[in-house]
Amino acid sequence: MLDFGDLTPIPPQTSVTQTSILLSQALDAGLTDILPLLHRQHLFQQFPDTLSLCADYKNAVYDGEREPLNIDCKILQFDQISSSKLPAESKRLAQQSLYIQADEALSKRVSQPKHTWRRNFIKNKSQDWSWPNHEFQILDRRDNATYQQCLEEHQQTQLAFQHVQKQIKQFANEHQLTLPDDSKQVDSTLQTYADNKPNIIDSLPAQLRAKSPEEEIHLYRFSNNGKWKLSLVPLSAETQNPLYHHDTLLHLLAWAVFNGLLGKATRILIADKANLTPIKTAVSLAQQLLRSSLTEQTRVGTDAATNKSPNIDHLILIANLEQNEEAINNNPEGLQLSSLHNDPLNYANRGESLLYSIDGLFHTTNGEWQTIQTKGKTAPLTLLQHLSSWWPKNKIAPSLLSWCPSDAHGPLISQRLENLYTDVNTHYLKNTHGDYFILIADNLYKLIWQPEGVDITPLNTTQLEPIINKSKSHFLVSKLDRQLDPKQFLNTLLNCQKKDTLNLIIEPGKTTLSVHFIDEFGNLISQQNIKLSPQTALVHFQYFLKNIQQHKPELSLRYFKIEPTQTPSKPWKLTAISPPTSLEKQSYLPVIIDMASAANNADCTISCGPKLFSGQANDKSTFEQITAFILSLRKSNIPYPLYINEIRFNEPQEVSTMDYLIQKLRFEKHLNID
């Protein structure tokens, strides 16, 4: 036999890198993969006086070893750990890991073992460990383990993993080595398992979750403001420690499902001193969760591995999980409502909101399940405000399941919540700058996009017109809740909003027409009952808008026509039209106004053809003079309209496009004679 000596030692940097990779792969495996990691930890402690497994192998063969398993790599690692300076707890974990990898259940009787030699070997080896019988039994039922057993293994192995990670960092620091990227991921995963954040559903690693659900679980709430408690044995007092507790029932049951305690055959025993959650509701909620993607038990997602900001990829919303305590106190016999108004957010003639609480459960792309609870009149808005920070830009909305346990209004509330979520989510993801208007319990609210999420602003009016006419000084794409605009007319107009663009939309009527303007900021203003033909109106307004464009050359002009359709799902048709190529001959008196400013009382000069009138822009006597002049021009009793062709301001750079339009409409209202 020729012996060429020991192998070349592994370079310290390579050893650190390999061990870090090995640790990142073993974090979720529990006892299965801990043996080689403990061996690496031992080598770090012995450096540079480390003895390779190759040397142990050759020495054993030279000394006459004839049992193949005694020179197996895992056995050689185990023997080095057994004689190392590692603590007794680590050596105990090494024994358990070796036993599991042998895959021989010694606590079970086997008449004809598949591998007799392997079974006899691990049986002889384990006799040196002095294990009690129940330890074999515990390890042999890992494939059918309950939560308690999985939890104990997780706690023991995570502590060992932390010690290995600490050893890696200490060794790297002593020898001025570079920690690999895997080390950051290991830190993050270890911290995730150590954290106890109230809104995150904590869980064991996927490979260590309970394989067998419990036969029964007990749920308790001992007071109105108390936490929900989950126990595997009956509790008689609030001071007793449960297995798990949380403020919300959704989080508690989701935790039980996610960790494998609650299955389809598990009995649920409930005692709720608050009497706000019927037993039927709690059982139905559990059934909803067992049918959801929560049972897939995913943990670490792709975003966690790539350090990307996580997003929501699945969402469950539960409306009115508990009964409305305030309504019960005010009406002990129960809330009975009937209404001609079918909107759950503005129900009955009193304008009440039937949606008084929302419990949300959502899954993120980094593998976490989280819960959120919102209560009160603005519960749906607070929910949207929270979720907006998770919405990915330029992506479709995550899948949504909505459920409300109410027999009378449940489907209506669920559908309303689902539609609202989808509407706001779509609007938010489509538009970088935007706002959204909604009426809840006869109060108008505005959601406005901010760099860090969404702001909720209550408005002091329920009148939409002054809000959407002139409320923005920078570009925002506005949208109205469907219940605010049931015929979808305003939202169809608002579809024309575009930055640095003036939009003119003509709406032909039977005898008159209406004209709608959307300025460069997205503000909408309308003029009704215009007594001009569509073509004449188009020529007139093109002339007026082009004069504005002279002072604001960055603005572009667009023209549309809006007409009703016979399609209920899309009741309005918006068509782009070309501007007139040549000016039509004017059939009305041209009017030009010069104003000192955009104020209603500004000094102004009004030119009606060859005639000039001067005064303040809100002076009734000036309008009376113009009215008398127009009457003197009439050759018949047929009235003709008076429209402003052009408005000129002394300082046009200080005036917005909407100021031009508002002053035009205001003057025409005063000057036209019915």
Same domain, residue pair 111 and 221: no
Asked whether residue 484 is assigned to any structural domain, the reply reads no
Average pLDDT over residues 25-42: 90
Same domain, residue pair 98 and 132: yes
pLDDT for 301 equals: 46
Judge whether residue 337 has pLDDT over 50: no
* Dist CA 135 CA 347 (whole Å): 62
Same domain, residue pair 378 and 501: no
Residues 458-480 as b/e (b if ≥16 CB within 10 A, e otherwise) read ebeeeebeebbbbbbeebbbbbb
Which residue reads 């499902």 in tokens?
257
pLDDT for 336 equals: 42
Residue with more model confidence, 589 or 284: 284
pLDDT for 59 equals: 84
Q: How confident is the model at residue 636 (pLDDT cuts 50, 70, 90)?
A: low
pLDDT for 638 equals: 60
Nearest to 40 by CA among 62, 28, 24, 60: 24
Domain with 150, as residue range(s), is 12-194
* Dist CA 396 CA 401 (whole Å): 15
Judge whether residue 674 has pLDDT over 60: no
Same domain, residue pair 190 and 269: no
* Dist CA 392 CA 370 (whole Å): 17
pLDDT for 365 equals: 86
Which of 422, 451, 470 is the endpoint of a domain? 422
Asked whether residue 417 is assigned to any structural domain, the reply reads yes
Same domain, residue pair 78 and 210: no
Contact 647, 595 (CB under 8 A): yes
Asked whether residue 465 is assigned to any structural domain, the reply reads no
Same domain, residue pair 123 and 270: no
Residue with more model confidence, 9 or 313: 313
Contact 37, 22 (CB under 8 A): yes
Model's pTM, two decimal places? 0.78
Same domain, residue pair 16 and 40: yes
Per DSSP, the residues of 348-383 read: TTTTB-S--EEEEEEEETTS-EEEEEEESTTHHHHH
Same domain, residue pair 267 and 334: yes
* Dist CA 671 CA 640 (whole Å): 11
Domain count, the chain: 3
Asked whether residue 433 is assigned to any structural domain, the reply reads no
Nearest to 384 by CA among 415, 423, 347: 423
Same domain, residue pair 533 and 598: yes
Judge if the upstream peptide bond of residue 68 is cis by omega within 30 degrees of 0.
Answer: no
Same domain, residue pair 310 and 164: no
Judge whether residue 122 has pLDDT over 60: yes
Which of 143, 164, 194 is the endpoint of a domain? 194
Which of 422, 446, 470 is the endpoint of a domain? 422
Asked whether residue 460 is assigned to any structural domain, the reply reads no
Nearest to 530 by CA among 544, 547, 548: 544
Q: How confident is the model at residue 335 (pLDDT cuts 50, 70, 90)?
A: very low
Asked whether residue 614 is assigned to any structural domain, the reply reads yes
pLDDT in tens, 410-452: 999 999 999 999 999 999 988 989 999 999 998 999 999 988 7
CA atoms within 13 A on the CB side of 391: 27
Same domain, residue pair 259 and 364: yes
Same domain, residue pair 190 and 212: no
Q: How confident is the model at residue 317 (pLDDT cuts 50, 70, 90)?
A: very high
Q: How confident is the model at residue 70 (pLDDT cuts 50, 70, 90)?
A: confident
Judge whether residue 333 has pLDDT over 50: no
**DSSP symbol at 536:** H
- SS3 of residue 118 by DSSP: helix
pLDDT for 588 equals: 60
* Dist CA 499 CA 522 (whole Å): 7
Asked whether residue 461 is assigned to any structural domain, the reply reads no
Asked whether residue 620 is assigned to any structural domain, the reply reads yes
Strand partners, 477: 434
Per cent of the chain over pLDDT 90 is: 50
Number of residues that make up the chain? 674
